């Protein structure tokens, strides 16, 4: 039985969960609702879904729902051809334009990458979503320390995963300049030294040597004059 259709002419609706008046864009669609708009806002629905999936019963219901979705796709020509219609933008796109999802039989997500990214970004722009993202990121970093460091090296210097260990082994686990085995950094990891103009990675340096090159502005002539200064006899 359909419920009473609410007056949405103002373009807003009150969420009965958080008791906040929000624009209709903050609510999902509901085919079985008289107004076609979901009762709760997207943020409250997302919070409820996460809390439900955190329980064994919720996880089981999620798996069963996922399986029903997979079964509903069986035999559809678009899947045989390698195409699928995104339920969000309603555009037929190839599998390559969908995010991977190991939990589905066909290995792709329900929505295309563009819609998925937009939805995630919209959630992260909210106060609750931003906080949840920061907490999840910290949990991942704490559980994947080495992977996180390799990712930073890749993003900042273009060094492939595993290259740091290979470089360290080639330097016998020591700084390329002073030959100390102590990095002297907070992360207990040598600095990846690179040329600031060409961006070419030169080697691994300890904290002091890396700072020293910076103070001498990576200028070989300036460093040679400094060496001559130290070598020259003083009266």
CATH number for position 161: 3.40.1800.10
Domain boundary residue among 81, 103, 138? Answer: 138
pLDDT at 109: 86
1 inside domain:
no
29 inside domain:
yes
pLDDT at 1: 40
- Torsion, Cα 68 73 75 77, to 10 degrees, reads 170
3-state secondary structure of 191: strand
91 inside domain:
yes
pTM of the entire structure?
0.48
Query: 81 with 44, same domain?
Result: no
Domain boundary residue among 138, 158, 190? Answer: 138
pLDDT at 104: 72
H or E stretch covering 58: helix 56-73
- Give the chain's domain count: 3
Residue 206 Rama label (left phi>0; alpha psi -120 to 50; beta): beta
Range of the domain at 27: 12-48
Residue 134 and residue 156: Cα distance in Å, rounded? 21
5 inside domain:
no
* Secondary structure letter of residue 194 according to DSSP: E
* Secondary structure letter of residue 1 according to DSSP: -
pLDDT at 73: 61
Query: 152 with 212, same domain?
Result: yes
Question: Rounded to the nearest 5 degrees, what angle is found at the Cα of 65, between the Cα atoms of 17 and 89?
Answer: 75
53 inside domain:
no
Asked if 112 and 88 count as a contact pair (C-beta separation under 8 A), the reply is yes
Query: 90 with 152, same domain?
Result: no
Query: 130 with 151, same domain?
Result: no
Residue given tokens 């069986």 in the structure block:
74
Query: 33 with 106, same domain?
Result: no
Residues sharing a CB contact under 8 Å with residue 194, sequence separation 6 or more, in sequence order: 157, 200, 201, 202
Residue given tokens 């210097």 in the structure block:
157
Query: 113 with 153, same domain?
Result: no
Query: For every one of its 235 residues, what pLDDT tens digit does the chain have, with 9 covering 90 and above?
Result: 444 556 677 888 889 889 999 888 888 888 777 778 888 898 898 888 888 888 888 888 887 887 776 666 655 555 557 788 888 888 988 888 999 887 776 778 888 999 999 999 998 998 888 898 999 999 998 898 888 888 888 888 888 888 888 999 999 999 999 999 999 877 678 999 988 888 889 999 999 999 999 999 989 999 999 999 988 877 5
3 inside domain:
no
Sign of dihedral through CA atoms 114, 116, 120, 122?
positive
Longest dimension (CA), the chain: 102
Query: 152 with 210, same domain?
Result: yes
60 inside domain:
no
pLDDT at 193: 92
Domain boundary residue among 138, 155, 189? Answer: 138
Query: 86 with 134, same domain?
Result: yes
Residue given tokens 């090296």 in the structure block:
153
SS (H, E, C) 85-104: ECCCCCCEEEHHHCCECCCC
Query: 126 with 151, same domain?
Result: no
Residue 144 and residue 149: Cα distance in Å, rounded? 9
Token pair in block for residue 102: 């190991």
């Amino acid at each position: 039985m359909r419920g009473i259709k609410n007056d949405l002419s103002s373009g807003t609706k009150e969420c009965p969960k958080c008791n906040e008046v929000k624009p209709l864009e903050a609510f999902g669609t509901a085919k079985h609702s008289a107004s076609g708009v979901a009762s709760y806002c997207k943020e409250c629905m997302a919070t409820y879904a996460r809390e439900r999936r955190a329980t064994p019963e919720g996880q089981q219901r999620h798996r069963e729902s996922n399986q029903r979705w997979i079964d509903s796709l069986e035999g559809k020509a678009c899947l045989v051809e390698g195409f699928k219609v995104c339920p969000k933008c309603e555009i037929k796109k190839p599998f390559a334009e969908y995010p991977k999802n190991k939990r589905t039989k066909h290995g792709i997500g329900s929505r295309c990458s563009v819609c998925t990214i937009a939805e995630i970004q919209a959630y992260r722009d909210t106060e609750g979503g931003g906080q949840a993202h920061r907490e999840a990121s910290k949990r991942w970093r704490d559980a994947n320390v080495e992977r996180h460091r390799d990712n930073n090296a890749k993003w900042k210097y273009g060094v492939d995963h595993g290259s740091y260990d290979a470089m360290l082994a080639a330097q016998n686990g020591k700084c390329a300049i002073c030959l100390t085995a102590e990095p002297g950094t907070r992360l207990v990891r040598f600095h990846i030294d690179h040329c600031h103009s060409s961006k070419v990675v030169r080697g691994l340096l300890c904290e002091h040597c890396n700072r020293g090159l910076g103070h001498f502005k990576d200028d070989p002539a300036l460093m040679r004059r400094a060496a001559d200064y130290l070598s020259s006899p003083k009266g």
